């Protein structure tokens, strides 16, 4: 009845020991395989996320995202999106934790940080979509939005493309200027540019912004490369969109989770018939995307719980490989399971070893 806890020190050590590239590649490979299984009907889909929206002076969203793999486990992520965190509290915009439950008993098997996990799996999802939809010769990445998500977007795409250059735009000049240092480990030429210049020069464009509902698009429609592929990452609540509708309607659109995408992604502005396919179908049949790679494509990424389930698998396997984490008895296990008051009391002997006695 112990729970395996993986905190910030543990996930930080995973990154330092295995390396960022190794961790990202493991998530990309595992996610590609899981999405292919989903597309073939081997895995069951995740239900759409649910939660609460905060208005007023401190806007944001708090959501719960569950995924069940029968006989193996249930993953539940609790995640908060608070766009004013960085300036108000010095905290990441996205905070969260991820729990793994035993599918047979409901026992809390593991509890892990969800901040790094969310950034990794979001970058990995864009990498999977980009590997299928982007022009094979793509070398220039455009980023609209230079916050934390931009780092893992660039990192994920660098694993599947021969990137040479990054054009970045952000409404906060300091964020745009600071991105070069944050992704220096990729060895890319990074240049700050106006949104229209980013659109015109990119082979692949990622939008990862914290625009408020009704305030999009985050760049104007205009000239772009014929083979442009867009990963639209930032939309995560009704009314919040990033792309010009005219561009979206010209593109072949691929969604990650159809129900979520039509409720709170870019596709909330499209009829079901205007969405071409889903990412899991393309992973199950990659040849279906071959004819799309020379035209305009959009990956409508809302982020769904299967991605968290897969990323947690990768993180737990890495932690086990490195002997990381702490085991803690969190759930109450009475001496008599029919009597919740039949508690156990921990004592410490003179050797410093903890034991449990009945009360």
Pairing of strands 252-255, 277-278: parallel
**167 and 292 share a domain?**
yes
Residue 358 included in any domain: no
pLDDT of 351 strictly over 50: no
**Rounded Cα–Cα distance for residues 31 and 28 (Å):** 5
**192 and 318 share a domain?**
no
Residue 353 included in any domain: no
What does the pLDDT read at residue 352?
Answer: 47
As a whole-number percent, the residues of the chain with pLDDT over 70 amount to 96
The angle subtended at Cα 149 by Cα 147 and Cα 155, nearest 5°, is 115
Residue 289 included in any domain: yes
Burial of 6 (C-beta count, 10 Å sphere; 0-12/13-18/19+): buried
Which of the following is catalytic: 236, 280, 308, 313?
236
Q: For 266-280, what is the mean pLDDT?
A: 96
- Confirm whether 236 is a catalytic residue: yes
**133 and 76 share a domain?**
no
What does the pLDDT read at residue 171?
Answer: 94
Helix, strand or coil, per DSSP, at residue 254: strand
pLDDT of 314 strictly over 50: yes
Q: Which residues of 103-126 are buried (b: 16+ CB within 10 A; e: fewer)?
A: eeeeebbbbbbbbbbbbbbbbbbb
Residue 340 included in any domain: yes
Structure token pair of residue 252:
């072949």
Helix, strand or coil, per DSSP, at residue 135: coil
**239 and 159 share a domain?**
yes
Residue 359 included in any domain: no
**Structural domains of the chain, count:** 2
pLDDT of 343 strictly over 90: no
As a whole-number percent, the residues of the chain with pLDDT over 90 amount to 83
- Going by pLDDT thresholds of 50, 70 and 90, the confidence category of residue 350 is very low
**73 and 162 share a domain?**
no
- 57 or 97, greater pLDDT: 97
Q: For 307-333, what is the mean pLDDT?
A: 97
**319 and 299 share a domain?**
no
pLDDT of 294 strictly over 90: yes
pLDDT of 7 strictly over 60: yes
**152 and 271 share a domain?**
yes
Strands (DSSP E) found in 136-265: 140-144, 165-169, 189-192, 204-207, 229-232, 252-255
Q: How many CB atoms are located within 10 Å of the residue 55 CB?
A: 7
**276 and 166 share a domain?**
yes
| Mean model confidence pLDDT for the chain | 94
**Sheet (strand 50-54) strand order:** 50-54, 60-69, 73-81, 94-101, 108-113, 3-6, 326-328
Structure token pair of residue 92:
């990441």
**Rounded Cα–Cα distance for residues 272 and 282 (Å):** 17
pLDDT digits (tens, 9 = 90+) for 154-203: 999 999 999 999 999 999 999 999 999 999 999 999 999 999 999 999 99
**Rounded Cα–Cα distance for residues 134 and 48 (Å):** 27
What does the pLDDT read at residue 346?
Answer: 62
What does the pLDDT read at residue 64?
Answer: 97
282, 303, 324 — which closes off a domain? 303
Residue 290 included in any domain: yes
253 beta partners: 298
Q: For 270-295, what is the mean pLDDT?
A: 96
- 197 or 272, greater pLDDT: 197
- Going by pLDDT thresholds of 50, 70 and 90, the confidence category of residue 57 is confident
**195 and 107 share a domain?**
no
Q: Residue 40 half-sphere exposure, CB side, CA atoms within 13 Å?
A: 11
Residue 214 included in any domain: yes
- Range of weakest confidence among 13-17, 69-73, 232-236: 232-236
- When computed from its CA atoms, the radius of gyration of the chain, rounded to whole angstroms, is 22
**139 and 192 share a domain?**
yes
Range of the domain at 39: 3-116+307-347
**31 and 108 share a domain?**
yes
Residue 227 included in any domain: yes
pLDDT of 354 strictly over 80: no
- In this structure, what CATH number is given to the domain that contains residue 261? 3.40.50.720
């Amino acid at each position: 009845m112990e729970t395996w806890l993986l905190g910030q020190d543990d996930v930080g050590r995973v990154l330092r020991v295995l390396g960022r590239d190794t961790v990202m590649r493991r998530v990309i490979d595992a996610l590609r395989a899981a999405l292919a299984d989903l597309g073939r009907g081997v895995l069951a889909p995740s239900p759409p996320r649910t939660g609460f929206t905060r208005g007023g002076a401190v806007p944001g969203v708090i959501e719960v995202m569950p995924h069940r793999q029968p006989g193996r486990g249930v993953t539940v992520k609790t995640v908060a999106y608070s766009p004013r965190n960085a300036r108000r509290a010095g905290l990441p915009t996205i905070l969260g934790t991820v729990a793994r439950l035993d599918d047979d008993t409901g026992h809390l098997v593991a509890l892990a940080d969800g901040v790094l996990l969310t950034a990794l799996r979001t970058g990995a999802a864009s990498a999977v979509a980009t590997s299928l939809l982007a022009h094979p010769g793509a070398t220039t990445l455009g980023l609209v939005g230079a916050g934390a998500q931009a780092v893992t977007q660039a990192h994920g795409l660098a694993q599947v493309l021969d990137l040479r250059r990054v054009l970045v735009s952000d409404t906060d000049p300091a964020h745009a200027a600071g991105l070069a240092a944050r992704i220096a480990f990729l060895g890319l030429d990074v240049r700050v540019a106006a949104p229209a210049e980013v659109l015109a020069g990119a082979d692949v464009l990622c939008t990862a912004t914290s625009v408020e509902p009704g305030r999009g698009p985050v760049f104007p429609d205009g000239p772009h490369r014929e083979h442009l592929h867009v990963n639209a990452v930032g939309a995560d609540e009704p009314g919040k969109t990033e792309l010009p509708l005219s561009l979206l309607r010209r593109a072949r659109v691929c969604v990650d989770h159809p129900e979520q995408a039509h409720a709170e992604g870019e596709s909330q502005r499209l009829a079901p018939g205007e969405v071409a396919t889903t990412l899991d179908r393309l992973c199950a049949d990659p040849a279906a995307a071959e004819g799309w790679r020379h035209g305009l494509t959009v990956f409508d990424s809302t982020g769904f719980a299967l991605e968290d389930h897969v990323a947690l698998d990768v993180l737990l396997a890495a932690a086990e490989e490195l002997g990381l984490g702490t085991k803690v008895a969190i759930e109450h296990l009475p001496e008599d399971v029919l009597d919740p008051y039949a508690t156990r009391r921990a004592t410490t002997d003179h050797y410093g070893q903890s034991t449990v006695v009945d009360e």
